[in-house]
A and B are shown apart, each in its own frame.
Chain A
Amino acid sequence: MRCDQAAEMMSERLDGRLDPAGVALLEEHLAACSTCQDEWCRLQMLDGLLTSAPMVQAPVRVRVGVMARLSRRDQARRAIIGGTALSLGTVALTLLALAPLLLNVLDVTGIAPALISGGPATIVQLLALMGAVCRTMLALLESFAAPLVFLGICSLAVAIALNRLWVGVVGQMQATR
């Protein structure tokens, strides 16, 4: 057996993982090799030193620190969730309150819809577009209604006048016959 193999077997023996056959082989090598005997002594002393080294006790403040950090983390999480909910609620209520005004502004400027995109903003955009279309149609009707009414009245007056004239002419012709 080589010395490096023996060294590995020493480590295994300290860990109780060397079978009896391996122990016998190691003992045989140790009996013939003074270098490995010294190494075995050193490893055994080290094993004793480490085995007797005690567990280091945790200071009381470790537990206090863990619980404090957990508490702070929970508070921070609650603050984030609460703050987000509050912000969203405020924005939603503000949008609701200002919806008519926003629709008018969007209709007048026509720029805002281009700046708003995605999610709830898209709904506002669509509502604004619908509002704008409706208002445009009403404006067109208004712009066409007045002339039509005037022409209609004029036409009706002319029609009535022509009708009266025709009735008169026909009446005169019948009277002369």
Chain B
Amino acid sequence: MNTETEWIEQARAGDQVAFGRLVTAYQTPVYNLSYRMLGNASEAEEATQEAFLRAYTHLRSYDPNRPFRSWLLSIASHYCIDQLRRRRINWLSLEDEIAAPDGPGDAGRIRLASDRPRPESVVMQLEQEDRVQKALTGLSPTDRAAITLRYWYDYSYEEIADTLSLTVSAVKSRLHRARRALAKALEGEMMYAV
């Protein structure tokens, strides 16, 4: 039995310390997915916390034969898709979200998991991040989830289909449609990048 399996078993028995270790191990993948889906740091935090709470509540229904990360990301994806559908009417633009930080100082600004680059590179990287994120917000919730799982988690069609409860054929067409929409939205930006 490996460490993760032990933590899961202990958490199933009600050990919150063991569950805390799982949170530490998977908070960044879940948070990144939530952020890519919702496009807002504070909502991503809330979604991440909610996904972990739901995972803890339903830990007994978790199938140990399935990767824990996939199960967790599936919970987070469905939660984010629900949230996006609920707020469809009051859709916010990315500019509004970036202009309204979530707390004092730079609390609303995202932090990247990569190595810390030089300041000018940080600015460029953040600008590129903003552009990508803005383009993602133009996609439907499910297309956004499919693209996120494909690019940030290197999921196969089958894994995306399993996570989002879709057929492989639907994943293929959604990725194709999402790519065309993103390419159109980022056309000008990509010209600069080149």
Q: Which residues of A contact B (CB under 8 A)?
A: 7-8, 11-12, 14-15, 17, 39, 42-43, 45-47, 49-51, 53-59, 61-63, 65-67, 69-71, 73-74
Contacts and interface: CB of A to CB of B under 8 A. Distances in A.
Contact of B190 (A45, A59, A71): A45
A114 B49 CA distance: 51
Interface in B5-25: 16, 19-20, 23-24
A58 B30 contact: yes
Nearest to A67: B20
A56 B35 contact: yes
B183 A58 contact: no
Nearest to B153: A55
B112 A56 contact: yes
Interface string B46-59: 00110011001000
Interface string B163-194: 00000000011011001101100110110011
Nearest to A4: B176
B152 A70 contact: no
Interface of B: 16, 19-20, 23-24, 27-32, 35-36, 41, 44-45, 48-49, 52-53, 56, 107, 110-114, 125, 128-129, 132, 147, 150-152, 157, 172-173, 175-176, 179-180, 182-183, 186-187, 189-190, 193-194
B193 A49 contact: yes
Contacts of B186: 46, 49
B56 A70 contact: yes
A46 B28 contact: no
Given A62-B49, A69-B49, A42 B20 contact: no
B141 to A, nearest CB: 18
Contacts, number: 123
Nearest to B102: A59
Given A42-B187, A70-B19, A62 B35 contact: no
Contact of B111 (A43, A59, A70): A59
Nearest to A73: B53
Contacts of A15: 150, 157, 175
Nearest to A74: B16
Contacts of B28: 55-58
Contacts of A66: 20, 23, 27, 48-49, 52-53
Contacts of A14: 179
Given A45-B193, A56-B110, A70-B16, A11 B175 contact: yes
Contacts of A43: 179-180, 183
Given A14-B179, A54-B129, A70-B53, 8 more contacts: A7-B176, A7-B180, A46-B190, A49-B132, A53-B128, A55-B32, A57-B32, A62-B31
